[in-house]
A = this chain, B = another copy of it.
Amino acid sequence: MARLTLTDDDAKVRKWFAEEVQKLGCTLSVDQMGNMFARQSGSRKSSAPMIAMGSHLDTQPRGGRYDGILGVMAALEVLRTMKENNFKTNYDVGIVNWTNEEGARFPKSMCSSGVWAGAIPIQKAWDLRDIHDPTVTLRSELERHGYLGDIACSNDSATGYPLGAHFELHIEQGPILQETGRSIGIVQGAQGYRWLTVNVKGKDAHTGTTPLSARHDAMLAASKMIVASNAIAKRHDALASTGIIRVPSNASTNTLPSDVTFTLDIRHPEDSAVHAVQEECLKAFATISSEDGKGVSFDWTLDTDSPAVKFDQGCVESIKAVADHLVGPEKSMYMTSGAGHDTVYTSQHCPSAMIFVPCRDGVSHHPTEYCTPEDCALGTQALLEAVVHYDQT
């Protein structure tokens, strides 16, 4: 699946989504970030904010058919099932399709739930440029497709679209459920993460004529840093990962590169551990810089700082109750989300939690991403029951 946010394909699925929810009798509202809110009235005709089931319909450029999409499709199925069974919740319930969760086209992930939560200024989000065509902005694409809505993108009850609660069904995107033979993850929160870019400066030198002792070998130092960060993370039961490494474009086999840049992604459910890993890494990097030859220098920037989040105890317990009933305590488990999700932002302003279902071999952001029909159905049933449970308690 390649449905980048606010492309013609995304506009097509939005149109389809709008028709589906209208067929179900929902009212549809669109805010100034193109977030789509579909609302089904409850029997109490209360003016309280709706209980939302939310996720996203955009994907990565080489994405799968489940990440985000499952959460919205399941929410539709929940409303359909309620309607077919003439079931009415007490309070209003509904669906949110959040714009640009992936951040793949306009590079900021969980972008529009971030604006809704007040964590990202709307002007900054509007100004995001298409990574391949800088003449196109997120706002110009909202306008082109008619998705620059008239409601403020905010949780403010006077001007925006506040939510009573937010439940999100999502594939795990990791291997834990499959490996432990479980069907439902009761997600209690999301781990904290920090993204660093580290630049190691050495000196270009001839590989054949420069003794090891005379080198400022940025490549060797960067490699040692990557190895060290992994070992440090392991000691803390944390994660450290390098996704990108770059040498200058005029690099050649027989020249030591003048500098090497790499990314470092550090994660742990406790912010204190994330900080400890970062500090130990930077200390190790300083040692490594002077270990070989004539040494190197390095500097670093903090690109993303996403503190750990704990979801609402009430929402989590709704999901726990449902999971116990559906599959029993043996087949479900409490989990912490490894990745960021829109629910991380909604949880700052309304009771929120997530349900995870297994995905094959933990593969996500990849065309082979897969969740069995049985697990999709089970997750959808859990979402329905969690919403009903929350509505009734």
Contacts and interface: CB of A to CB of B under 8 A. Distances in A.
Contacts of A223: 222-224, 226-227, 242
A350 to B, nearest CB: 23
A214 B362 contact: yes
Interface in A122-148: none
Given A175-B214, A214-B362, A220-B226, A207 B243 contact: yes
Contact of A211 (B176, B219, B265): B176
A255 to B, nearest CB: 5
Given A223-B227, A245-B219, A365-B255, A339 B191 contact: no
B267 A208 contact: yes
Interface residues of A, number: 63
Contacts of A252: 243-244
A13 to B, nearest CB: 23
Contact of A338 (B208, B222, B260, B292): B208
A217 B243 CA distance: 10
Interface in A174-196: 174-176, 179, 191, 193, 195
Contact of A254 (B175, B255, B260, B265): B265
Interface string A82-114: 000000000000000000000000000000000
A179 B213 CA distance: 11
Interface in A297-341: 303-304, 337-340
A243 B227 contact: no
Contacts of A263: 253
9 contacts: A175-B210, A191-B208, A195-B253, A206-B362, A207-B241, A208-B337, A223-B226, A244-B247, A244-B251
Given A205-B362, A208-B339, 12 more contacts: A206-B362, A206-B365, A208-B337, A212-B230, A219-B226, A222-B223, A230-B292, A241-B256, A243-B247, A243-B254, A244-B252, A254-B265
In the A-B complex, the 3 residue pairs with the closest CB atoms: A174-B209, A209-B338, A207-B241
